[in-house]
């Protein structure tokens, strides 16, 4: 190779020739690496990157964190991927049949190094040492990412790669097939889009305990199916009127504390599913949204709203406090003043106002909302699926720990609020029709 490059630059001064020759040699090595046959990619890649880089871990944490059982969720969020998950991910990488591409390989390498050695502290390779420089750059880009997070991200990344290459083990939704087993939702998949539609239109899609649980199950299924995008929307005139206030009724005094405790766990797990959801998640806000159906919107990647939609968080009116990570995300998004108007004083925003504050991505006329949104999403769903997932993770991973911590704190505080007189009176007023939010 050096001979070839040497001939190419005949006639140049010897130092320049040597440099260029080295450069071309590195580039040719990179290219031959890039075009390795798929079936043989594992071993040669190991040679370039060292054996350790082929541990396997899923960068994205779909199935692991989208579990419904509360205890499972607690152990995962508290500890992240275990060493066993990590090792199993490493083994899975060796079995991949499809070359995931150099970008993903670099990411796996970087996460492996971060998870096992911590932040990059080795000297930066020289500019002509292209491969080692690429590896160093990828590792160094992870900054101070904690080892546990890197380990979890590795496991999640590998899981994403495995599910995309092992389509036989996936839930394969047929065109527009309605997924059975849900009583409060309609779940369908078509054109690479899984749609989860809240389906209690006569109750304004108020969220019952059963509904929270079904949404978590639906998200878990969507995280594993072969769709590219997941969409949450509502059936009827409302997106959702938030927590079903009858969730707080029919409780005897001796059950009340236990019910509040379970409510806090449910809330934390429910919001946790949105924080960890691995694929692009879109809210198609077809009408007014209240309470938790507003606060979780910041955990979506796109929020499309009908111009008929409104956004209302009447927490104080209910003697309650913010959830859905909004105590952190809203001030960050719109500034503390605007966040206070919504979260403390219960100001209702129009779709245009919510868009101006960044809570909504785009507003569509109600008459063309469905057509325009679905046309747009169908086009997006044709984009490369893994690239979308990885980009989403890159954007979201920075904040995950903070979001989980906020979620835990908000749930803890609400558990106390639900036992307060202020909250109980407000709910009784609504149920006895003395108040409407
Ligand atoms: C465990 C996790 C906890 C998470 C913490 C979450 C907190 C929140 O989400 S706080 C927000 C809670 N939601 C509300 O406060 C909204 C209450 N509802 C209303 O104010 C109104 O119903 C409305 C403004 C949403 C709609 O008013 P309107 O158009 O006049 O329709 P109706 O009031 O007649 O509603 C029709 C029907 O639906 C029932 N309903 C609507 N929303 C709820 C709800 N959130 N909880 C319980 N029931 C609700 C309403 O009672 C009517 O029922 P029927 O009288 O049987 O027809």
Which one-letter DSSP state was computed for residue 127?
A: T
- Tell me the percentage of the chain whose pLDDT exceeds 70: 77
The residue contributing the CA closest to ligand 1 atom 37 is: 203
Is residue 209 within 8 Å of residue 176, measured between CB atoms?
Answer: no
pLDDT in tens, 281-321: 999 999 999 999 999 999 999 999 999 999 999 999 999 99
The pLDDT confidence band at residue 397, using thresholds 50, 70 and 90, is very high
pLDDT in tens, 79-112: 467 888 888 888 888 777 777 777 778 788 999 9
pTM (predicted TM-score): 0.66
The residue contributing the CA closest to ligand 1 atom 11 is: 291
**Residue burial 94-104, b: 16+ Cβ < 10 Å; e: rest:** eebeebbebeb
Residue 244 CA: nearest ligand 1 atom is 46
Provide the residue count of the chain.
437
Return d(Cα 262, Cα 256) in angstroms, integer: 10
Residue 263 CA: nearest ligand 1 atom is 1
Complex-level ipTM: 0.99
The residue contributing the CA closest to ligand 1 atom 56 is: 203
Judged against a pLDDT cut of 90, whether residue 39 lies above it is answered with no
pLDDT in tens, 145-187: 888 888 987 887 888 777 655 433 333 434 455 777 899 999 9
Give the pLDDT confidence score for residue 82 in this predicted structure: 81
> How is the beta sheet containing 310-312 ordered, strand by strand?
289-290, 310-312, 349-350
What is the distance in angstroms between the CA of the first residue and the CA of the last residue of the chain?
75
Return d(Cα 20, Cα 3) in angstroms, integer: 12
Return d(Cα 303, Cα 191) in angstroms, integer: 19
* Residue ranges in 225-350 assigned as alpha helix (H): 256-276, 292-295, 326-334, 336-343
**In this structure, what are the phi and psi dihedrals at residue 44, rounded to the nearest 5 degrees?**
-60, -35
Contacts for 31 with CB less than 8 Å, ≥ 6 apart = none
Closest by CA to 160, choosing from 390, 396, 383, is 390
Domain ranges of the chain: 100-161, 185-435
Task: Please determine, looking at this structure, whether the domain spanning 100-161 carries the CATH number 2.10.60.10.
Answer: no
**In this structure, what are the phi and psi dihedrals at residue 117, rounded to the nearest 5 degrees?**
-115, -10
Is residue 283 within 8 Å of residue 354, measured between CB atoms?
Answer: no
* Pick among 3.40.640.10, 3.90.1420.10, 3.90.226.10, 3.30.70.2740: CATH of 185-435: 3.90.226.10
| Of 198, 204, 244, best ligand 1 pocket probe by most atoms within 8 Å of the beta carbon | 204
User: Out of 122-131, 264-273, 303-312, 318-327, which region has the weakest mean confidence (pLDDT)?
Assistant: 122-131
Q: Give the C-alpha distances (Å, rounded to integers) separating 292 from 81, 169, 289, 318, 322.
A: 29, 34, 8, 13, 8
Residue 323 CA: nearest ligand 1 atom is 5
The pLDDT confidence band at residue 387, using thresholds 50, 70 and 90, is very high
Return d(Cα 78, Cα 278) in angstroms, integer: 18
Protein residues with CB under 6 Å of any ligand 1 atom = 203-204, 206, 241-246, 263, 266-267, 290-292, 314, 318, 323, 430, 436-437
């Amino acid at each position: 190779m050096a001979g070839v490059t040497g001939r190419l630059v005949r006639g140049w001064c010897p130092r320049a020739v040597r440099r260029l020759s080295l450069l071309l040699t590195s580039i040719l090595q990179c290219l031959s690496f890039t075009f390795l046959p798929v079936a043989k990619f594992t071993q040669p890649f190991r040679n370039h990157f060292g054996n350790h880089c082929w541990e396997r871990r899923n960068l994205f944490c779909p199935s692991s964190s989208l579990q419904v059982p509360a205890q499972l969720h607690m152990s995962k969020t508290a500890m992240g991927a275990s060493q066993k998950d990590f090792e199993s991910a490493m083994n899975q990488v060796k079995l991949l049949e499809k070359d995931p591409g150099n970008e993903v390989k670099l990411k796996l390498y970087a996460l492996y190094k971060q998870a096992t050695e911590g932040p990059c502290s080795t000297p930066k390779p020289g500019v002509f040492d292209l491969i080692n420089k690429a590896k160093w750059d990828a590792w160094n880009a992870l900054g101070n990412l904690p080892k546990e997070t890197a380990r979890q991200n590795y496991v999640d990344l590998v899981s994403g790669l495995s599910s995309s290459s092992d389509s036989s083990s996936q839930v394969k939704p047929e065109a527009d097939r309605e997924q059975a087993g849900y009583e409060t939702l309609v779940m369908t998949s078509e054109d690479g889009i899984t749609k989860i539609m809240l389906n209690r239109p006569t109750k304004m899609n108020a969220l019952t305990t059963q509904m929270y649980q079904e949404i978590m199950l639906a998200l878990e299924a969507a995280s594993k199916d072969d769709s590219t995008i997941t969409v949450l929307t509502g059936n009827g005139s409302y997106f959702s009127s938030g927590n079903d206030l009858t969730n707080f009724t029919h409780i005897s005094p001796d059950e009340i504390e236990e019910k509040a405790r379970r409510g806090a766990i449910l809330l934390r797990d429910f919001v946790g599913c949105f924080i960890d959801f691995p694929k692009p998640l879109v809210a198609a806000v077809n009408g007014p949204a209240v309470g938790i159906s507003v606060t979780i919107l910041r955990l979506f990647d796109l929020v499309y709203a009908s111009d008929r939609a409104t956004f209302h968080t009447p927490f104080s009116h209910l003697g309650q406090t913010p959830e859905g990570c909004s105590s952190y995300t809203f001030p960050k998004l719109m500034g503390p003043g605007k966040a206070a108007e919504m979260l403390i004083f219960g100001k209702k925003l129009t779709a245009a106002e919510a868009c101006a504050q960044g809570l909504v991505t785009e507003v569509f006329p109600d008459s063309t909302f469905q057509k325009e949104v679905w046309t747009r999403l169908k086009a997006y769903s044709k984009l490369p699926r893994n690239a979308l997932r990885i980009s989403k993770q890159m954007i979201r991973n920075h904040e995950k720990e903070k979001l989980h911590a906020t979620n835990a704190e908000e749930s803890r505080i609400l558990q106390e609020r639900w036992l307060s007189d202020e909250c109980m009176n407000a709910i009784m007023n609504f149920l006895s029709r003395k108040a409407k939010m």
